[in-house]
Structure 1
Amino acid sequence: MAHGRLAPRSRATNGVPAQGAWWRNLVAAAVLLGVLVAGVVVQRHPGTYYSTVDVMFLAPVSARNPNAVVTTSGSVVSTASVVERVLNGPDGAGVRNASSRVTLLGERRLHDEAVRLPDNGGQWAPDFDEQLLTVEVTGDDPEDVARRRDALVATVDATLRQLQDDQGVDRFNRITTRLSPAAPTVTYHEGNRKRAFAMLVLMATVAGYVVVTSWPGAQGRPAVVWPAGPRHRRRRAASTSHPERELSSRSQVS
């Protein structure tokens, strides 16, 4: 009677090695824990207070231009640009954004302040066609944000006044300023917490799936074969050392 060689018993479940399954469970638990911790951080992260106001530069009123609000002048825009350059310095405006409507919040500058001359140009050439300066302030305290905003507006007015004093401009021909809105407010921004948490869950799910599916033994990959017992190793060594005996014994059995 022929006796076939028994294959060593594999400690695997559903084609997945026991050791690999253990590590996959560990990865899943780590991903779940990371999502929970990140969710708590997102929910408890404080928001930011933000305030903005436009300091409009108005041309002097005359019989030809009785309405200073609708009167536009290239010289007034140039004056606003000089004031902005005095306040910010040659390189104080920072990186030029694709849109002049990008705010400090959009740049993630959550405790900062800025005075900007709107640039409505394209990619290749700037276009300063608005005679105003935009003042922005962000911070974690509403009273501090309002105080710093008012201080920046006062600095803009003082700089404009000093420039005209230095040039000896007559008071009837002076450029004046007006705020828009007249009574700026401070608003609170905390983002969309639900959307942020949903993105965390999605990213963690994708990352966990990639790790688990790329683990050895997944998707039909060869599983790890556990070492056989001492008896099997002795029989394997004997057959390897004397292949002719193994062949003879098989022939006799047949």
Structure 2
Amino acid sequence: MTLWDLVLAFFRRWPVLLVGALITCTCGGLATRDNGVYWTRTQVILLAPKEWYPNKLEVSPWEVTKATGVVVKRVVGAGSRIKYASPEATMIGTSNVRDGTWIRQEDNGGQWSVGLTSPVIIVEAVGPTPERAQELQQVAANLIAHNLAQLQRDWGVNPKLWITSTVAPAPAVIYHVTGSKPRALGMTALLGVGITLGFVLALEYRVRRRAETDADAPESEFVILDDAAGAPVTN
């Protein structure tokens, strides 16, 4: 198909172009109307007891780190988790969550190994409003503190020797994260033009194939009755 054939195909399929343009413009408007989300990232740090006595969950600084892993499993479950190359990866760039939390233990081992070397739990929260993001962050921090206390209570640890938790920074810093409207509009236009062009070409290909099939089909024989003689004549 030459360029001129393509132009003629566009003229013939102008209803398809019109529908494609309307859908593309609508999607572009929706993409640029997105107001973004509000995101916060805090750390829940587990602290060793002030008085250093035998504690079933805490005997050395390393034991605090192990207790951190136990608490995280109680909060989020013991299933498999996605590992990233950097512990600084955020839920904004790695997930499609717009209202929720991401709780995990700080892992400095990279993507292919485990490096749980500090008693730090990373808590990220994202929501449609600053109030919602702050609420989710506070709920997550309270849930971690509750599970930590319940774990030590189940083990029969003296409350004076409990591992405690603190949130840093407190209060949490909330950021307004928005996408790039020019990029969203450009990508929407590119996808719309590509899909519309592909649809027009598919219709043209289908019509041409049908025409070629009809042209290559052999002529069928049919019988004409001679009214006068009553004898069949085959063409």
* TM above 0.5: yes
Q: Deviations over 1:45-78 (max 9, x none)?
A: 3422222211012234579xxxxxxxx9321111
TM-score by length of 2: 0.67
Aligned length: 198
- Pick closer, same or farther for the CA change 1:20–1:206 going to 2, 3 Å: closer
Q: How does 1:1-254 map to 2 (within 5 A)?
A: 16=5, 20-60=9-49, 73-91=61-79, 95-99=81-85, 100-105=87-92, 106-170=94-158, 173-211=161-199, 216=204
Q: Distance in 2 between matches of 1:113 and 1:169?
A: 30
Gaps of 5+ in 1: 1-13, 64-71, 226-254
Q: Distance in 2 between matches of 1:23 and 1:80?
A: 67
Contact 1:20 1:215 in 2 (8 A): no
Structure 2 letter corresponding to 1:38 = C
Identity across matched positions, percent: 23
Contact 2:10 2:17 in 1 (8 A): no
Indicate the SS of the match to 2:143.
helix
- Pick closer, same or farther for the CA change 1:158–1:168 going to 2, 3 Å: same
Contact 1:142 1:186 in 2 (8 A): yes
Indicate the SS of the match to 1:80.
helix
Indicate the SS of the match to 1:133.
strand
- Pick closer, same or farther for the CA change 1:174–1:32 going to 2, 3 Å: same
What is the RMSD of the two structures over their aligned residues, measured on CA atoms? 3.5
Q: Distance in 1 between matches of 2:72 and 2:178?
A: 30
Indicate the SS of the match to 2:41.
strand
Contact 2:49 2:163 in 1 (8 A): yes
- Pick closer, same or farther for the CA change 1:189–1:124 going to 2, 3 Å: closer
Contact 1:104 1:112 in 2 (8 A): no
Q: Distance in 2 between matches of 1:81 and 1:61?
A: 21
Shift of 1:18: 10
Gaps of 5+ in 2: 53-59, 213-235
